[in-house]
A and B are shown apart, each in its own frame.
Chain A
Amino acid sequence: MHTSAIEATNAVVTLDVALPGVVWGWIITMNMWAKSIGTGVIFMLFYLLKKYPNEAGYLRFPLTVISIVAIHVFLFFTVIDLHQMFRFWHIFVYGHFTSAIAVGSFLATGFVGLIFFLAYASYIKKDNALFDKVLTWTMLLGIPVTLYTAGLMAQATARELWQMPTEVVQMILAATLAGSATVLLVGGKLPYEAKRDMAVVLGFSAFMAFLIYMSEYIFGPMKAEEVAATLEFIKGHGEYTTMFWIGQVFAFIVPMVLVTLSVQNKSTGLLNLAAVSALAGLWVAKHVWLVIPQLLSMS
């Protein structure tokens, strides 16, 4: 619609300030990607210990360590993205709780405390009962930790593409996708049934996430002028068209296909390939969705 209006008026900006460009770039993509792994593995561990308590027991400590590493990667990239990173402590002193950033910081801090406690329970105290009890609370806290970034994107009033509740669903699907993919890569000794369950989670997450992206891709422009203008960057000869489809193919389409084939053939090799593809593709898919609304002029 806006294109025809421009054609009618032939309105051209002849003097203005430069566009600010991408303010939240690959550092924020790393942030979201690492957080998906950090909370996702906790969700998967919770499921596996409920369904396969004996066979999956050995994963308590390794998955806790992976969660600790991933969450610290997330925290590291969160802090280095700040233009005044040494003022990070201001959030804890001057916290403004209408902001998803402030709320998320406190939630993430609590989550870090709990995963360290899990490491203590499994490695030092070697108390599985205690671990499982704390894991329940860690898993529950992991849900808002996963979702608060969606709240932040929803609060970015300027960026129409980032809608609630779509982003909430995408965040939780990213966590289940990344968590199941990571478990498939590190859970070599798991019985086939457990791996098949992880594969189903991976395939279902990929399918749902792809469905939502495609829904927005096709129907988003019919609802809002800004969304239509934003999606032009990933359509036709758009600046991010190739990257968008690379992300969609590797994050969602390849895992869906490989999971289907592996379940039919009982092949775990294909699952490893699906997991690697999903993890790499997720970064690309997240990055494109993060960047394109920032290319639009706001004024």
Chain B
Amino acid sequence: MHLGFLVDLHLCMGCKGCEIACKVENEVPLSTWRLRVKYVDVGVFPETKRTFTPLRCNHCANAPCERICPVSALHYIENGIVNIDKERCIGCAGCVMACPYGAIYIDPETQTADKCTYCAHRIASSLMPACVVACPVEANIFGDLDDPASNISKYIMQHQGDVQVRKPEKGTDPHHFYVGGGNIHLNPLASKRNEGYSLFNKLTHLPVGGHH
């Protein structure tokens, strides 16, 4: 079994329901994100449009984060998920440097690395990831890539020629696909970042169980 994700960007409307569901399900601290939806505006008024791209860990088959982790805190589980053991992590941030998708962050409360785990704890209970459940338009398609009868396998077959991964040149073999994506969606260098795009900057975190 190799679990994978596919996001149909034709369907995504940028409601951020997946983001919030992920935050709640995984108790992701303020200013950090396991999953977020990036907005990019394209064109010049009045010929403009807004694109939405949900971004999360790609659970690569050849994961640089797993390779660089000195203590196997990042490790594969049998279903292909790259999971993290926060009790083992030493916080060296090697994985943050290695991930070409910017999907790993240092949790400000536990001071360890963290990222999307495809809700591995829910999958172990035969539940879908929280973001899949929350999506109102079923833009998130999740399932077993090894099973030709799974929704994700059928979706990939039906949309051949329009299925892409981020940064294929890195050789990471991501298990996260996009349908309907273009350079603007998938290439971070294809858009400008001006001041003010981020709502949540410079937040101060209280130490766990204490005060300043």
Chain A residues proximal to chain B, CB less than 8 Å: 2, 5-6, 9-20, 23-24, 81-85, 87-88, 90-91, 94-96, 98-102, 105, 152, 155-159, 225-226, 229, 294, 296-299
> Shortest Cβ distance from B170 into chain A, in angstroms?
6
B201 CB-CB contact with A under 8 Å: yes
> Shortest Cβ distance from B212 into chain A, in angstroms?
19
Q: Which residue of A lies closest to B194 (CB)?
A: A12
Q: How far is the CA of A253 from the CA of B71 in the complex (A)?
A: 41
Q: Are B91 and A82 in contact (CB under 8 A)?
A: yes
23 contacts between A and B (CB under 8 A): A2-B189, A5-B190, A9-B43, A12-B41, A12-B197, A15-B39, A18-B198, A20-B96, A81-B92, A82-B91, A84-B112, A85-B91, A96-B69, A96-B71, A98-B67, A99-B67, A101-B94, A102-B71, A155-B94, A157-B64, A158-B99, A225-B189, A299-B55
Q: How far is the CA of A100 from the CA of B70 in the complex (A)?
A: 7
**Nearest 7 interchain pairs by C-beta:** A83-B91, A298-B102, A101-B70, A157-B64, A11-B191, A299-B102, A15-B39
Q: Are B70 and A298 in contact (CB under 8 A)?
A: no
Excluding A98-B67, A155-B67, 5 further A-B contacts by CB distance (< 8 Å) are A2-B190, A12-B40, A20-B102, A157-B98, A299-B103
Render B18-57 as a binary contact track against A, CB cut-off 8 A, 1 for contact. Answer: 0000000000000101001111111110000010000100
B183 CB-CB contact with A under 8 Å: yes
Q: Are B99 and A298 in contact (CB under 8 A)?
A: yes
Which among A85, A102, A298 is the interface contact of B101 at CB below 8 angstroms? A298
Q: Are A23 and B88 in contact (CB under 8 A)?
A: no
Q: How far is the CA of A294 from the CA of B102 in the complex (A)?
A: 10
> Shortest Cβ distance from B129 into chain A, in angstroms?
19
> Shortest Cβ distance from B73 into chain A, in angstroms?
8
Instruction: Name the B residues within 8 Å of A158 (CB-CB).
Output: 64, 97-102
Q: Are B188 and A96 in contact (CB under 8 A)?
A: no
Q: Are A10 and B201 in contact (CB under 8 A)?
A: no
> Shortest Cβ distance from B94 into chain A, in angstroms?
6
Q: How far is the CA of A10 from the CA of B44 in the complex (A)?
A: 7
Which chain B residues in 158-180 approach chain A with CB under 8 Å?
A: 166, 170, 172
> Shortest Cβ distance from A169 into chain B, in angstroms?
20
Q: How far is the CA of A294 from the CA of B96 in the complex (A)?
A: 10
Q: Are A84 and B111 in contact (CB under 8 A)?
A: yes
Instruction: Name the A residues within 8 Å of B199 (CB-CB).
Output: 15
Q: Are B93 and A87 in contact (CB under 8 A)?
A: no
Which among A6, A16, A81, A82 is the interface contact of B198 at CB below 8 angstroms? A16
Which chain B residues in 92-124 approach chain A with CB under 8 Å?
A: 92-94, 96-103, 105-106, 111-112
Q: How far is the CA of A157 from the CA of B95 in the complex (A)?
A: 9
